[in-house]
Amino acid sequence: MKGRVFIIGLGLIGGSLALCIKDKHREAAVIGFDIHPEQSKLAKMLGVIDEAAETVEEGAAGADLILIATPVTEAERIIDSLSQINLNKDVIISDAGSTKAEIMKKAARLKENGVTFIGGHPMAGSHKSGVAAARSLLFENAFYLLTPDKETPVQDVEKLKSWLAGTRAKFLIIDPAQHDYLTGVISHFPHIIAASLVHQADRTRDEENLVPRLAAGGFRDITRIASSSPHMWRDILLHNKDVLLELLIEWKVEMDKVAQMLKANDSEAIYQFFLKAKEFRDELPQKEKGAIPAFYDLYVDVPDYPGIISEITGYLAEEKISITNIRILETREEIYGVLVISFQTDEDRQRAEVCIRHQTQYETFTGS
């Protein structure tokens, strides 16, 4: 497809969308803007965009597609700005935010001007951030939710999907309110719980100074999402507060039930509580990408001697296997420790496991 694509926000998501469009539509011109000029310069230097706009107005002029890849509160301000600009009459505008109902209400101003806005949410992410981390394969096989209003022409939705075909994502069309409830259950609320668990551990460390050390293993893994951007999650919670308040009430009821089980020493109820959770979790698809980015970890039993990390990473580098994170669990006191290596894809993890087993005698295992 020929045309002019304008991407506002050149972080991981915006940069990756730009790469997907450039790969699929080589005749299109991709223009980018970021509130931080150095990000725009870096994006152009890396070939993520063709041109850097100095203002939103400059980039939007004559654009056939405008993608807003910013935090949701900033996206609202950008929509206000776009509603005051003379845009291409056939332009399609979409966003990439984690909440949709409020964004769609704000976008009504664009509709009044005859501009098509289709809410969007690519459900993918990474350990890394910034345009330097952008990847054209970031969205491959991930769900990409689209929330057009009922009056949006089908051909406009199909046109947007054509522009985004390079993502190789799985497009789903859903209602904005349904979107916010679903993401509230499987993404927004878990982030609250993870942060709460960390707060609880933090409160206890004054009395138990071993808490930080013992939390370095599994606790650190299950609360990994608590390290997400506080700025972004503040905005998401405020945008989706009605859904989250409802879920918090339901969570409190659930915890009250657990408390009653314990007070009554009801072993069968406690057993069923964990059994039903296990059964539901074991049924979840292992290969699908969901609302929370998957992290593919490989655990390696390694001897504790200088140079062990560089030895392992050296083997992986020879096979051109990229890693996203690496650390040693500090909860074990034997001569052998556990090296935890994180990868972007399950394929990379599988290749790494084969590589390490071939090069060494170290035992490896994965989580599930």
Give all strands of the β-sheet with 28-33 in edge-to-edge order.
Answer: 51-52, 28-33, 3-8, 65-68, 92-95, 116-122, 143-147, 170-173
Which of 283, 304, 330 delimits the end of a domain?
Answer: 283
CATH number at residue 190: 1.10.3660.10
d(CA 271, CA 269): 5
CATH number at residue 62: 3.40.50.720
If asked whether residues 162 and 112 sit together in one domain, one would say: yes
If asked whether residues 153 and 213 sit together in one domain, one would say: no
8-state DSSP, 328: E
Joined together, the tokens standing for residue 84 give: 């005051």
Give all strands of the β-sheet with 296-303 in edge-to-edge order.
Answer: 325-329, 336-343, 296-303, 364-366
Residue 291: inside a domain? no
pLDDT at 335: 47
Which of 252, 283, 314 delimits the end of a domain?
Answer: 283
If asked whether residues 114 and 262 sit together in one domain, one would say: no
Joined together, the tokens standing for residue 200 give: 């609880």
How far CA 309 is from CA of 42, 217, 298, in Å, comes to 31, 18, 14
If asked whether residues 240 and 146 sit together in one domain, one would say: no
| Domain encompassing residue 359 | 296-366
Closest CA to 8 of 79, 88, 66: 66
Residue 244: inside a domain? yes
Instruction: Give yes or no for a contact between 239 and 72, defined as CB atoms under 8 angstroms apart.
Output: yes
Residue 217: inside a domain? yes
If asked whether residues 273 and 318 sit together in one domain, one would say: no
d(CA 171, CA 186): 18
If asked whether residues 44 and 169 sit together in one domain, one would say: yes
How many structural domains comprise the chain?
Answer: 3
If asked whether residues 13 and 156 sit together in one domain, one would say: yes
Residue 62: inside a domain? yes
If asked whether residues 134 and 216 sit together in one domain, one would say: no
Burial class of residue 229 in the structure, from the number of CB atoms within 10 Å of its CB (0-12 exposed, 13-18 middle, 19+ buried): exposed
Residue 95: inside a domain? yes
CATH number at residue 343: 3.30.70.260
DSSP assignment of 66-78: EEE-S-HHHHHHH
If asked whether residues 218 and 336 sit together in one domain, one would say: no
If asked whether residues 48 and 89 sit together in one domain, one would say: yes
Which of 111, 143, 174 delimits the end of a domain?
Answer: 174
If asked whether residues 236 and 354 sit together in one domain, one would say: no
If asked whether residues 217 and 81 sit together in one domain, one would say: no
How would you write the pLDDT of the chain (368 residues) with one tens digit per residue? 889 999 999 999 999 999 999 999 999 999 999 999 999 999 999 999 999 999 999 999 999 999 999 999 999 999 999 999 999 989 999 999 999 999 999 999 999 889 999 999 999 876 567 888 888 888 988 899 999 999 999 999 999 999 999 999 999 999 999 999 999 999 999 999 999 999 988 888 777 777 777 776 678 778 888 888 888 899 999 999 999 999 999 999 999 999 999 999 999 999 999 999 999 988 877 656 555 666 678 888 877 677 878 888 888 988 888 887 777 765 444 445 677 888 777 788 888 989 988 888 777 777 55
